[in-house]
Homo-oligomer: A and B are copies of this chain.
């Protein structure tokens, strides 16, 4: 089973992201707008509940983090995905590091770039057509995130939330 840990931003930011996603993101219907903390992974040697309980404990030691969107950016030419760039900060990186427990098995080959995807799986032509306009529209937004969620993926690709981890600690 595939799992992920994500933060859902405020309804306001989700609604704005969805205005683009509806048109430009074929994953629009699979999950609400989100910032991935730890990407698709498998859980090894533990049940979902055992793993979730351990992750919950770790998350509860951490404090809420600032989600600061500074602009629109793109992963092209590596992949034609456009996103709200979230400024990395120590709280986000420390949370991600702490949640990366040894039963979490994923094969990440690229550096972690905190972001909220608003467009993906486009042809290069389509990407190049829209990137200028979306960048120009831009996005600046700051909010505090006080919870992240553990999700699992259904056979149809949709994601269901299993548990909510409240960031209520001091770390």
Instruction: Give A residues with C-beta under 8 Å from B.
Output: 1, 8, 11, 14-15, 18, 22, 28-30, 32, 49, 146-147, 149, 152, 154-156, 158-164, 166
Contacts and interface: CB of A to CB of B under 8 A. Distances in A.
Secondary structure call for the A interface: mixed
A29 B32 contact: no
Contact of A158 (B18, B146, B149, B166): B18
A159 B161 CA distance: 11
A32 B158 contact: yes
A154 B1 contact: no
B156 A18 contact: yes
A152 B12 CA distance: 12
Nearest to A164: B164
A154 B11 contact: yes
Contact of A29 (B29, B152, B166): B29
Contact of A14 (B15, B147, B160): B160
Given A29-B29, A154-B32, A160 B11 contact: yes
B29 A155 contact: no
A164 B55 CA distance: 14
12 contacts: A8-B160, A8-B161, A14-B160, A15-B155, A18-B154, A28-B29, A32-B154, A32-B160, A149-B161, A161-B164, A162-B164, A163-B166
